[in-house]
Amino acid sequence: MVDYVWKMEWSQQKSRKITEYRMEEVVEYFGDTKKLADITSFDIENFVVHLRMKNNSGATINRKLAIVSKVMKYGVRHGVVTQKPEIPKQKESSGRLKFYSQEEEVELSDAMDDHDLRDLFLFLMDTGMRRGEALGLLWDDVDTICNTVTLSDPQKLKTERPRTIPLTARAAEILRLRKSWLWKHDPPFYFTNQQIDDKIKAFRAVHPFEGALLHTCRHTFCSRLVQRGVPLAAVMELAGHNSLKTTLRYSHLSPANLTSAIAKLEPEQ
């Protein structure tokens, strides 16, 4: 049934790689031999506990439960399941965005013995790319003359718009060094999502940290740009946000945005 739902619902999504990763995690947990009709609300609640133990946020858990819900909906429609079990919606935090200070960045990167994880961590910090975008990066996407990366493959993007990201000196150096020792046909970041998860799990075991290690790099990228006075429209373009509403989450970080706005009311001298 999962394969059928994949073909009907998700195979043509722009974000299908992310959905496929979530789907594989659901199948791995419940087992590909377990009958859909045998999955109970109790099983689903245990799945939620399992995800919490992996430090998944409420929002992430809800996305994975949506996979379960959709498959169950198809099961009911086709008579495989008589009744869809209750699926507990998790509370999603709307609180403060987590981002790294310069000190936290140095502390974390210095503690990373795994050079692949360290390279990816610092590259995401300086480009704001999503993890999936970085893992899907090809050498053809990298312009070493202009020092940019261009993301244009719709299969790898959450937004329809391609975007070009200028590279910092550090990000460019990471790519240069990786290209010097990787096999000829290896992409810049050649590992799978599961391999990255394993690396993060091993790192967390010896160096506990808060939040999602790599996605926090994206928040940090946006936060630093706003804090340094970069216009929100430019931040939106660099981050590849679908709407300005997403970028506005960082607007309160601008050190002088409210002060400068009120200054407009002062009489001209």
Confidence of residue 260 (pLDDT cuts 50, 70, 90): low
Residue 190 has pLDDT above 80, yes or no: yes
- What are the backbone angles phi and psi of residue 59, rounded to the nearest 5°? -65, -45
Confidence of residue 95 (pLDDT cuts 50, 70, 90): low
pLDDT for 94: 59
Confidence of residue 21 (pLDDT cuts 50, 70, 90): confident
Q: What is the rounded average pLDDT of the residues 247-267?
A: 73
Residue 154 has pLDDT above 60, yes or no: no
Cβ count near 165 (within 10 Å): 22
Q: What is the rounded average pLDDT of the residues 26-36?
A: 87
pLDDT for 33: 81
Name the 3-class secondary structure at 165.
Answer: strand
Residue 255 has pLDDT above 80, yes or no: no
Residue 17 has pLDDT above 60, yes or no: yes
pLDDT in tens, 132-152: 899 999 999 999 999 999 998
CA angle at 26 for the pair 24 and 31, rounded to the nearest 5°: 90
Residue 37 has pLDDT above 60, yes or no: yes
pLDDT for 245: 87
Name the 3-class secondary structure at 242.
Answer: coil
Q: What is the chain's mean pLDDT, rounded?
A: 87
- What are the backbone angles phi and psi of residue 149, rounded to the nearest 5°? -120, 140
Q: What is the rounded average pLDDT of the residues 234-240?
A: 94
Domains (range + CATH), the chain: 2-77 (no CATH), 102-253 (1.10.443.10)
In DSSP terms, 142 is beta-bridged to 149
